[in-house]
Structure 1
Amino acid sequence: MTDSNQPAVRGINMAQDKAVFEKQKEQMAGGKGFIAALDQSGGSTPKALRQYGVEEDEYNGEEEMFGEIHKMRTRIITAPDFTSDKVLGAILFERTMRGEIEGIPTAQYLWEKRGVVPFLKIDKGLEEQASGVQMMKPMPGLEALLDEAAQDFGIFGTKERSVIHEADAEGIKQIVAQQFEVGRKVIAAGMVPILEPEVSIHSESKDEAEKMLEEALRVQLDTLAEGEDIMIKLTIPSTPGLYDGLADHPRVVRVVALSGGYSTDEACERLSKNHKMIASFSRALAEGLSKKQSDEEFNALLGSSIDKIYQASL
């Protein structure tokens, strides 16, 4: 972990800044554990709160809604088992990045108090489906957001999601090209992007789409120069080991898996067959957690889920 007396703002001390970044990168590349996805936003927030036992009539308006989700995330992050012993990184929503935990900016708290590397979700949602895929919506102000994340909050990397529904080769090439276009902007801002071209687990052509995706990713990876390093977040493949070659590519820091709607048990069982992927779970991590649980009950259940996901990621 970093010294809690040191400033969190990247760029204040360039030597320290680079040293912290390299330490975080080393942790993400070779550490044992998984990434916690705590980045529900917009339309997914009410659903996440309902799963946590908070109904829509318990808050009024967007501010109170995001206040409730921040309380949930704070409870997760401050739980005894949420440390770098098993959790390597955490993906945050913009409001969470700008919020605080125990009076400390969230990203700073994650790294200094928990040893967990902070990431930021940067996409603005999905376009309507076309050519079997949903591209990312435009991201106005992206460069300013990236600068803020890196310089003001010490964010290590980003995550951006798009979705593949069908095995349409042209659509998949387009979605991968867009991911790399955004990824290069993240790299230029001094961070490591997590590219997330998700394949829907409900796709009738999931296996075929994943093989097309693997090929499209390999083609784009070979266009990256030395030092242009990325991570990739993918649906757990129907063919175990499909993405092993991507994980071995010199430009790939790590390949991580999304739970995609699978239950915690099924996601972990599927992930355990893919030895070069680690988890980056959202709903599966928070499964069963409730606002109404005592701290003892909450921490015990979360600790059990963390251990289960950790074991599947080894």
Structure 2
Amino acid sequence: MSGPGTAGAVDAPADHRPARPGRRGRAAGRTPPVRPRRTLRDRLRRDWPLLAMTAPAACLLLVFHYLPTLGNVIAFQDYNPFVGDDPLEAFLYSEWIGFGNFEALFVDPLFWDAVRNTLTITAFQLVFFFPLPIMLAILLNSLVSGRVRGFVQSVVYLPHFFSWVLVVTFFVQMLGGAGLLAQEMREAGMQPWDVMTNPDTFIVLVTAESVWKDVGWGAIVFLAALSAIDPNLYEAAAADGAGRWRRLWHITLPGLRPVIVLLLIMRLGDALSVGFEQFILQREAVGREAAEVLDTFVYYQAISTQQWGLGAAAGLFKAVVGLVLILAANKVAHRFGEQGVYARS
């Protein structure tokens, strides 16, 4: 304490100047600048390199996918391509019969045989083919050596680029009546077995052909999803004592679940589309009863028998059912908390 005669410390006078407003205070009292809206010309000038790169693909989609959908009007006509002088006049002058083609289609037993074969093959491949790319991707991802992984990937990807003619020819050489399997059975004193002409095993045959051709290509998407999983999760789980199977169940499969759901929805949307080339090449060998699917049914009705309206009605039926299936599967995925094909509204 300082006495009366001592010069004590004097407190500094209080600063009564108003506090300077901070950055937030200045921003609160000022109207944010309004960005000028870009015109269409500005956007085209800015994005023309991207538009130029996507133009060829857009033209292909327009010419080969969107414009042909206009031909669905044939499903409601007694279409005659020889009416008029050009295809447009054939569309305009063919007789409109409403749903007559669909009525004829739904009472045709050959159509329902094709639907039954298509759904049976789809269900069989969904159970025995769809999981295989997932398993292959997990196995490839577990390979430590990058060289071995690259070699295996190249080997399993290569058959995807073979045409179905080559694939079917390869299986004929292996499993046909004069193929390698039949020759080995003859040398062993057994009755040779021609798998390629047996209608009872046709569904297994086409599934095996699809697996051999496309299982490696189907694993690409799952490998990309596996690379997005944080490796620290595996290290933390291993440090906590989790084994390989527990890490697979609790880390790998949950990381793949969005991709699995998406591809499963897309596959359900193609439930009535199992392919054309693969079946048209083997239809005569095993018979129509086993190998007739919707794609070949449309071909034979529209091209071979020239029942254009009936074939178009079958194709439109297939497209509508596929759309309903993909929307329903997407709705179910949303109910279970998954993203699906598009975000929920």
Larger radius of gyration between Structure 1 and Structure 2: 2
Higher share of residues assigned strand: 1
> TM (normalized to structure 1)?
0.22
Higher helix proportion: 2
